[in-house]
């Protein structure tokens, strides 16, 4: 599974421009899906299972977009000004590198600050492509790039840009491969534009009209050095996290209990997650049409929205085991 993860995290797919990563995911799942489709917003939707008397429609979503940057201006000297796609922070940008979808690379730096102890604003940042003027610049206004950082395998811990949420996509791909039999119609949604407001999942959920919705996404962890009062229960390596609440959703109690029962049946470690900020595609599923019971299986992750997001490989594999168990049997909420 590590090679799958590496392949997914090293493919670019900034929000709204998921064509390349969608092709990679499609190639991975094509042999295992009963049907495949791509909708108006670019969501890749794979159907597995015909459903039966004991079956329901389950939507499983992991987003394939990642945070990135978009060119707003190539100035007269050839420096590129940019805006952000999704929750990029200025302090993770400075001296970082970006790669455009056309292959052009550059480095981000900042104008000299009056007070160098302060964090720069995005208006003070620019991308240097190594040009000496703006004639024949290889990028133009509206072009998009992602942060550039190779995959790092530390053994149990894996580090990369875009673990958010390629790790969720990897969990779904692996789950789809391992399912032998299901009473359900399972809609695996590799969703787009999550980082800019759950936009892909919103339209996918409307189209699928599921009976149950589950997203697989990253969540923060509280196991790193800190002197602030901000506390979070979740740690890396203590099993996948079952979301109770985040900034945009109260998970359906019945879905939470269903996941707990599944983990205990298999004897898998798990953690309960309460995330103060941020939300996932599960919110969009919960609120579609007349409402859907929804929850989220989270992969504990350090340094989310930085170019070096860290996950624990055991948590990832256990998430796959749990998910396969959950969707292979009739669901009684």
Partner 1 sequence: MAILTEEIHLPQIGDDQLKLLERLSNACAVSGDEGEVRKIVLEEVRPHADEVKVDALGNVMVSKHGSGERPLRVMLAAHMDEVGLMLTYDVGDGIYRFDTVGGVSTSDLPAKAIWVGKDHVPGVIGLKPLHLGNSDEHKRPVGLDDLRIDVGPVSGKVKVGDRATFATMFIRQGLSLRGKALDNRLGVATLIELVKHAPPQIELQAAFTVQEEIASRGARVAAFNFNPDMAIILDSTPAYDLPVWDVDENVRYNSRLGAGPAIYVADSGTLYDPRLVRYLIETAEAHGIPYQIRQPGGGGTDAGVIHKQRIGVPSVSVSVPGRYHHSPAAIVRLSDWQHTMDLVATALFYLTPKVLDGER
- Given the complex with partner 1, which of 1 and 38 has the nearer CB atom? 38
Give the whole-angstrom CA distance, residue 325 versus residue 209. 23
Closest CA to 141 of 82, 88, 101, 98: 82
- Residue 39 interacts with partner 1 (CB under 8 A)? yes
Token pair listed for 124 = 């003070």
Site string for partner 1, 134-153 (x = CB under 8 A): ------xxx-----------
Piece of the chain touching partner 1 by CB under 8 A; list 17-25, 154-162, 224-232, 267-275: 17-25
- Residue 85 interacts with partner 1 (CB under 8 A)? yes
- Residue 280 interacts with partner 1 (CB under 8 A)? no
- Residue 254 interacts with partner 1 (CB under 8 A)? no
- Given the complex with partner 1, which of 81 and 157 has the nearer CB atom? 81
| Beta strand segments in 220-304, E | 241-245, 271-274, 294-302
Number of residues that bind partner 1 (CB under 8 A): 31
Token pair listed for 280 = 């996932």
- Cα distances (angstroms) measured from residue 283 to each of 69, 196, 261: 25, 14, 22
Q: What is the DSSP letter of 238?
A: S
- Residue 83 interacts with partner 1 (CB under 8 A)? yes
Give the whole-angstrom CA distance, residue 36 versus residue 121. 42
- Residue 203 interacts with partner 1 (CB under 8 A)? yes
Q: Is the peptide bond before 152 cis (omega within 30 degrees of 0)?
A: no
Would you call 194 a catalytic residue per the annotation? yes
- Residue 17 interacts with partner 1 (CB under 8 A)? yes
- Residue 230 interacts with partner 1 (CB under 8 A)? no
- Residue 196 interacts with partner 1 (CB under 8 A)? yes
The burial of 3, by beta-carbon neighbours within 10 Å (0-12 exposed, 13-18 middle, 19 or more buried), is given as exposed
The catalytic position among 28, 194, 273, 309 is 194
Residues engaged in binding partner 1 (CB under 8 A): 15-17, 19, 22, 38-42, 70-73, 75-76, 81, 83, 85, 123, 140-142, 193, 196, 199, 202-204, 206-207
Catalytic positions, please? 194
């Amino acid at each position: 599974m590590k090679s799958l993860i590496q392949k997914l995290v090293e493919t670019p797919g900034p929000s709204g421009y998921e064509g390349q990563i969608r092709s990679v995911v499609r190639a991975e799942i094509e042999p295992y899906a009963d049907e495949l489709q791509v909708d108006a917003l670019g969501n890749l939707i794979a159907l597995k299972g015909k459903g039966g008397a004991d079956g329901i429609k389950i939507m499983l979503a992991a987003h394939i977009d990642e945070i990135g940057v978009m060119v707003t201006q190539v100035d007269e000297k050839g420096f590129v000004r940019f805006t952000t796609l999704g929750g990029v922070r200025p302090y993770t940008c400075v001296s970082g590198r970006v790669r455009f979808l056309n292959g052009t690379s550059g480095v981000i730096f900042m104008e000299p600050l009056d007070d160098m102890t302060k964090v720069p604003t995005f208006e003070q940042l620019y991308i240097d492509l190594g040009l000496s003027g703006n004639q024949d610049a290889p990028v133009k206004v509206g072009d998009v790039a992602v942060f550039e950082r190779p995959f790092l395998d530390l053994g149990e811990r894996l580090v990369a840009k875009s673990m958010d949420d390629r790790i969720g996509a990897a969990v779904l791909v692996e789950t789809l491969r391992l399912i032998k039999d299901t009473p359900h119609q399972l809609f695996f949604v590799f969703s787009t534009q999550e980082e800019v407001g759950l936009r892909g999942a919103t339209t996918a959920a409307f189209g699928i009209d599921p009976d149950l919705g589950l997203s697989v996404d990253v969540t923060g962890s509280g196991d790193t050095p800190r002197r602030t009062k901000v506390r979070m229960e979740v740690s890396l390596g203590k099993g996948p996290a079952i979301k109770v609440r985040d900034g945009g959703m109260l998970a359906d109690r019945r879905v939470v209990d269903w996941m707990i029962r599944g983990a205990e049946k298999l004897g898998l470690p798990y953690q309960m997650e309460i995330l103060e900020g941020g939300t996932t595609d599960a919110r969009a599923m919960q609120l579609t049409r007349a409402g859907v019971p929804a929850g989220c299986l989270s992969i504990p992750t350090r340094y989310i929205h930085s170019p070096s997001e860290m996950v624990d490989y055991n948590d990832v594999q256990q998430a796959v085991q749990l998910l396969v168990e959950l969707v292979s049997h009739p669901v009684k909420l």
